[in-house]
Amino acid sequence: QATLYIVPTPIGNLDDITTRALQTLETVNWIAAEDTRHTHKLLQHYGIKTRTMSLHEHNEDKRATMLVHRLQGGESVALVSDAGTPLISDPGFVLVRKCREHNIQVVPLPGPCAAITALSGSGLPTDRFIFEGFLPAKNQARSSALKLLLERTCTSVFYEAPRRIYDTLTDINTVLGKERQLVLAKELSKSYEAFVSGTADDIMAWMDAEPGRQKGEFVLMVAGAAPVTSELPPQALELLALLSAELP
C-alpha cells in the first residue's frame, strides 16, 4: 500500500537514527527533504541511494499536491527535515493533512526530537509541559507570548536561535521577573553538549564567560510559576477548620 512515512533524523550525532528509519529511507520510492543537499550527506553516510526531492516552507503547497498524486499512483514517500522530527517546527503539516484528507496511509516513525531530548535531561518537571516552538521575532509579540507564562505552572519548552537568545533572556527578566528558573540545553548529542540551569542572569553570565557559548543550537526551558498557595501556614489552616467545626 502507498504510504507516507514521517522519518526523524539525527539532531547532531549521526548515530542517532533507528534501523527502521534507515530501512524505510532505503526502500521508499522518494524521499521528500527540507534541504536535499543537507539530507544527501546523511544518505551518503549510510550508503542510501533513494531519489530525493525538496519540500520546504516555500513549495510545500505545490509539492504536497504532487506527492498526493504520486501516493495515489502507488508510490511510497519518506518525509525528512534537516534534523529531528519533521513537522515539529519544521515543514510537513500541509502534506500530512492532505494525505489524511485523501485517506492515504501515514506512518510516523518515532525518533529524535530536540525538545523531548532537552526536557528529559533538564531536571525540570516533565509530567506536564507546553512546547512553544520558536518565540515571535518582534519584541511586542515576544513579550505577549512570554506573559502567558506568568501564571503557567507547567514547564515551557522553546526553540531559540543563537542571534536571539540574549534578547529572549532579557525579556524573560522583564516579563517574568529575575527569579524564574530556566534550563538551557545546548548542542544536544554533539561534542559540546551542555545543560545550564539558573535564572536568566545566571545563563547570560555563563554565555558571557566564553564567546563560543553564544553559538550553536539551543532549547530553552522555563520552569512553571510556583502554584498560588494559601498565605496561611498549615497549622493555622488546621486550627481554622477545627474552630469552624465548633461554630454554630
Work out whether 90 is an interface residue with ligand SAM (CB under 6 A): yes
Which residue among 7, 31, 218, 223 contacts ligand SAM (CB under 6 A)?
Answer: 218
Helix/strand/coil (H, E, C) string of 124-151?
CCCCCEEEEEECCCCHHHHHHHHHCCCC
The DSSP letter of residue 212 is: G
Q: Which of residues 110 and 177 has its CB atom nearest to ligand SAM in the complex? A: 110
Work out whether 155 is an interface residue with ligand SAM (CB under 6 A): no
- As measured in angstroms, the least distance from the Cβ of 95 to ligand SAM is 15
Stretch that binds ligand SAM, among 64-72, 78-86, 143-151, 226-234 (CB under 6 A): 78-86
Which residue among 5, 30, 129, 159 contacts ligand SAM (CB under 6 A)?
Answer: 159
- Output the CA angle 52-82-135, nearest 5 degrees: 140
Q: Hey, what's the cell of 24? A: 524505510
Which residue among 22, 88, 106, 130 contacts ligand SAM (CB under 6 A)?
Answer: 88
Which residue among 16, 60, 132, 160 contacts ligand SAM (CB under 6 A)?
Answer: 160
Class of residue 69 by CB neighbours under 10 A (exposed 0-12, middle 13-18, buried 19+): exposed
Which residue among 42, 64, 114, 184 contacts ligand SAM (CB under 6 A)?
Answer: 114
Question: DSSP E strands: which ranges in the chain?
Answer: 3-6, 30-33, 51-54, 77-80, 105-108, 129-134, 155-160, 182-186, 194-198, 218-222
Q: Hey, what's the cell of 25? A: 529511507
CA dihedral of 59, 64, 69, 72, whole degrees rounded to 10? 160
Interaction pattern, residues 180-209, with ligand SAM; x per rule: CB under 6 A: -----x-xxxx-------------------
> Which residues make beta-bridge pairs with 106?
4
> Which residues make beta-bridge pairs with 169?
none
Stretch that binds ligand SAM, among 21-29, 158-166, 176-184, 203-211 (CB under 6 A): 158-166
Interaction pattern, residues 11-40, with ligand SAM; x per rule: CB under 6 A: xx----------------------------
Work out whether 219 is an interface residue with ligand SAM (CB under 6 A): yes
Residue number with the smallest Cβ distance to ligand SAM: 84
The DSSP letter of residue 218 is: E
Q: Which of residues 210 and 246 has its CB atom nearest to ligand SAM in the complex? A: 210
Instruction: Please enumerate in sequence order all residues whose Cβ is within 8 A of that of 183, keeping only pairs 6 or more positions apart, or say none.
Output: 118, 122, 123, 124, 195, 196, 197, 220, 221, 223
Residues that bind ligand SAM (CB under 6 A): 11-12, 81, 83-85, 88-90, 113-115, 159-161, 185, 187-190, 217-219
